[in-house]
Amino acid sequence: MLHYALVFLVIAIIAAVFGFTGIAGTAASIAKILFIVFLILAVIAFFRRAS
């Protein structure tokens, strides 16, 4: 999950450099959502492991 978030972040940065603002914004939004999902799953896994 984190890997895909980083991939979309890199796509967003490259698209922004080349001026594709629509693609860059969409890729950045996807990266943000994937990162949040990763954090939620990581916290759940941490608490399940601790108990």
The model's pLDDT over 1-51, given as tens digits with 9 standing for 90+, comes to: 899 999 999 999 999 999 999 999 999 999 999 999 999 999 999 999 887
pTM: 0.85
DSSP 19: T
**Contact between 35 and 12 (Cβ < 8 Å):** no
**Contact between 11 and 27 (Cβ < 8 Å):** yes
Please enumerate in sequence order all residues whose Cβ is within 8 A of that of 37, keeping only pairs 6 or more positions apart, or say none: 1
Compute how many other C-beta atoms are within 10 angstroms of the C-beta atom of residue 36: 11
**Count of residues making up the chain:** 51
